Amino acid sequence: MEGLFVQLLVIGIKILVILGVVLGLGAYLTWVERKVAAHIQRRAGPMVVGWHGLLQPLADGLKLITKEDIFPRTGNRFLYNLALVLALVPAVLVFAVVPFGPEFEFFGVKVKPILTDVNVGLLLVFALGSMAVYAIALAGWASNSKYALIGSMRKAGIIVSYEVVITFAVMGPVILAGTLSTYEIVQQQINQKLWYIWLQPIAFVIYMFAMLAETGRVPFDVQEAEAELVTGFTVEYGGIKFGLFPLVEWYVEVLSLSAIAVVLFLGGWSPINIPFLGFVDPLFFLGPLSPFVWFVLKVALLFLFVLWLHWTLPRYRIDQITETAWKVMLPLTFVNLVLTAVLAPIVWR
Amino acid sequence: MMQWVAFLFFASLTLLSALGVVFLSNIIYVILSLLSTLVMVAGIFFVAGAELVGALQLLIYTVAIAVFYVLVLTAVPWEKALKKDSHYRIEGVLTFPILLAFYLEIILVFLIGVSVSPKGQIREFIQNLGNTQVVGSILFSKYFFAFELVSLVLLVGMIGAVLIGRKEDKTYEDSTS
């Protein structure tokens, strides 16, 4: 009985930590994004509220919450609100299968820093990640507005194309690791002394492309396209409801897909890797904390990379985006699969 | 005990949302009920310990297939979506016997399948290997022929889709090239 209680307590604490970190961080990443964007464009960015604008997200949140809740008269209120829930829940659920570090002992209780280590974790990630499309399709339909509908149709087209691509891209690491569990994939990379990016560069690049497309980041943000569609499917939303969609799409989803990229290609919480030889850890002085720091560092690096692209590139047209997916990326993933099949025995030995 | 509670939860929600698919009049609500049915079926798979099948149910049915329904239905104009009277009443009555025959066939196939399926042999298999490996090894040993046959059907379907989707030669002037 005692064991069960401790287990439930551990699960509860994990859920609270994940929710707090993800949603809190999500809000604060708006500040990071504005700062990075400003410095890319040689501006200072938010400076007024707090030291270097550090309190800006709180001010923004207050402003959004206290705004009037406007609703299009001919829309469908139930679906309009349901779309919000459908956007937020799957995006946060993905973090249930993200492993943040190695197993550790805390007051005699063994804790794996992952909510559920399902043996098909990776499939769940992509199933849940792609469910965002329903939120967007519903938001577009329930608003009963042309701009919103066009935006949502575009986004659905993109997700349908890139979901296929991303699933085939991650098959390479899965073959090398021989498992679908996210925790085990990292363990395998540590055992084999190999980050899979060294053998899967094509898959990694394609994964990054597909990640940008699924999260609606530049150069694939045609569903927003503020110049032509005035921010697409969110156009009829107001106040905090308007704020929630970018929060989910641009921050929570980018974070979760970056974390999965780190798990699949960059060896999760392992330090710098020399292929087949071992690991070099310049952060050894942090002791047992170093794996967690490594994980956060890698995710932060990928996130900054996404921001860098976002504020540098122009956007593609919708037909160019889907054509690249089907005609370039998908064949490339097939080539990669064949290459992986040839290379896999070297890794398995 | 916990398993029964979870199973009853998912099963009742499956039934409820399946009823919603039949009885709701707004097509968007219908497709949402269908989605909820598919998700709940995935939940039943998870309760039964078939994680791989559950995840594939989520990935393929609730996302990859249902998204096309949603895509088409969201393009339906509002007036039509909210229409109350139904079309195709006579056709519906006429197809009822055929539908009944299909259901009988499904029940028959299910019963035959249950009678010939291996009992208890897979259990120790699962304990030695993981969920995914078990599905793979059974699929590529016992049901290999059926598996290849199905992939042939899929290939035919794919070729057909390519043929239908192919652009006709010179139906319009391409001004962009």
CATH number at residue B41: 1.20.120.1200
Q: Determine, yes or no, domain membership for B103.
A: no
Partners of residue A111 on adjacent β-strands: A104
Report percent pLDDT > 70 for chain B: 79
CB contact under 8 A, A118 and B51: yes
pLDDT digit string (tens) for chain A, length 349 residues: 567 787 788 888 888 888 888 888 877 888 888 888 888 888 888 888 878 888 888 888 888 888 887 777 777 788 888 888 888 888 888 888 888 877 777 776 777 777 777 778 888 888 888 888 888 888 888 877 778 888 888 888 888 888 888 888 888 888 888 888 888 888 888 888 888 888 888 889 999 988 888 887 878 877 776 667 767 777 778 777 887 888 888 888 888 889 889 988 888 888 877 777 777 777 777 777 788 888 888 888 999 998 888 888 888 888 888 888 888 889 999 999 998 888 888 777 6
> How many domains is chain A built from?
1
Q: Are A309 and A219 in contact (CB under 8 A)?
A: yes
CB contact under 8 A, A130 and B131: no
Whether the CB of A175 is below 8 Å from some CB of chain B: the reply is no
| Residue B132 with chain A: CB contacts under 8 Å | 119-120, 179-180
Q: Determine, yes or no, domain membership for B133.
A: yes
Q: Determine, yes or no, domain membership for B175.
A: no
Q: Angle A146-169/B66-73 helices, nearest 10 degrees? A: 160
Q: Determine, yes or no, domain membership for A33.
A: no
Candidates A123, A131, A140; nearest CB to B74: A140
Q: Determine, yes or no, domain membership for A107.
A: yes
Q: Say if residue B115 is in the same domain as residue B80.
A: no
Domain end, chosen from B84, B102, B129, is at: B84
d(CA B75, CA A260): 33
CB contact under 8 A, B71 and A160: yes
Q: Say if residue B15 is in the same domain as residue B66.
A: yes
Domain end, chosen from B33, B49, B84, is at: B84
Q: Say if residue B1 is in the same domain as residue B66.
A: yes
Q: Determine, yes or no, domain membership for A36.
A: no
Residue B101 has pLDDT above 90, yes or no: yes
Q: Determine, yes or no, domain membership for A231.
A: yes
> Hey, of A94, A134, A147, which one would you mutate to test binding to chain B, going by the most B CBs within 10 A of its CB?
A134
Q: Determine, yes or no, domain membership for B172.
A: no
Domain span including residue B52? 1-84
Q: Determine, yes or no, domain membership for B90.
A: no
Confidence band, pLDDT 50/70/90 cuts, at residue B59: confident
Complex ipTM value: 0.78
Q: Are A181 and A232 in contact (CB under 8 A)?
A: no
Write down the pLDDT at residue B12: 92
* Parallel, antiparallel or unpaired: strands A272-274 and A278-280: antiparallel
Q: Are A30 and A251 in contact (CB under 8 A)?
A: yes
Any idea of the CA torsion for B8, B12, B15, B18, to the nearest 10 degrees? Answer: -120
Q: What is the CA radius of gyration of chain A?
A: 21
Q: Determine, yes or no, domain membership for B99.
A: no
| B76: closest chain A residue by CA | A141
d(CA B38, CA B18): 9
Q: Determine, yes or no, domain membership for A17.
A: no
Domain span including residue A87? 61-348
| Residue A131 with chain B: CB contacts under 8 Å | 62-63
The contacts of residue A222 (CB under 8 Å, 6+ apart) are A154, A158, A315, A316, A317, A318, A321
Q: Determine, yes or no, domain membership for B98.
A: no
Q: Say if residue B65 is in the same domain as residue B126.
A: no
Partners of residue A273 on adjacent β-strands: A279
Q: Say if residue B16 is in the same domain as residue B80.
A: yes
CB contact under 8 A, B58 and A163: no
Tokens of B29: 């609500």
> How many domains is chain B built from?
2
Q: Say if residue B115 is in the same domain as residue B76.
A: no
The contacts of residue B120 (CB under 8 Å, 6+ apart) are none
Residue with tokens 């042999």: B121
Helix (H) or strand (E) holding B62: none
Q: Determine, yes or no, domain membership for B100.
A: no
Q: What is the phi-psi region of residue B166: left when phi exceeds 0, alpha when psi lies from -120 to 50, beta otherwise?
A: beta
Q: Determine, yes or no, domain membership for A21.
A: no
Whether the CB of B100 is below 8 Å from some CB of chain A: the reply is no
Q: Say if residue B61 is in the same domain as residue B119.
A: no
Whether the CB of B48 is below 8 Å from some CB of chain A: the reply is no
> Hey, of B58, B60, B76, B137, which one would you mutate to test binding to chain A, going by the most A CBs within 10 A of its CB?
B58
Average pLDDT, integer, range B2-27: 87
Residue B26 has pLDDT above 60, yes or no: yes
| Residue B55 with chain A: CB contacts under 8 Å | 118, 120, 123-124, 127
Q: Determine, yes or no, domain membership for A124.
A: yes
Tokens of A242: 């308007």
Residue B118 has pLDDT above 70, yes or no: no
Residue B162 or residue B79, greater confidence? B162
Write down the pLDDT at residue A239: 76
Measured in whole angstroms, how far is the alpha carbon of residue A91 from the centre of its chain? 8
Q: Is the dihedral of CA A157, A159, A165, A168 positive or negative?
A: negative
Candidates A119, A127, A134; nearest CB to B59: A127
Highest mean pLDDT among A8-17, B7-16, B133-142: B7-16
d(CA A187, CA A2): 30
Among candidates B63, B24, B72, which has minimal Cα distance to A134?
B63
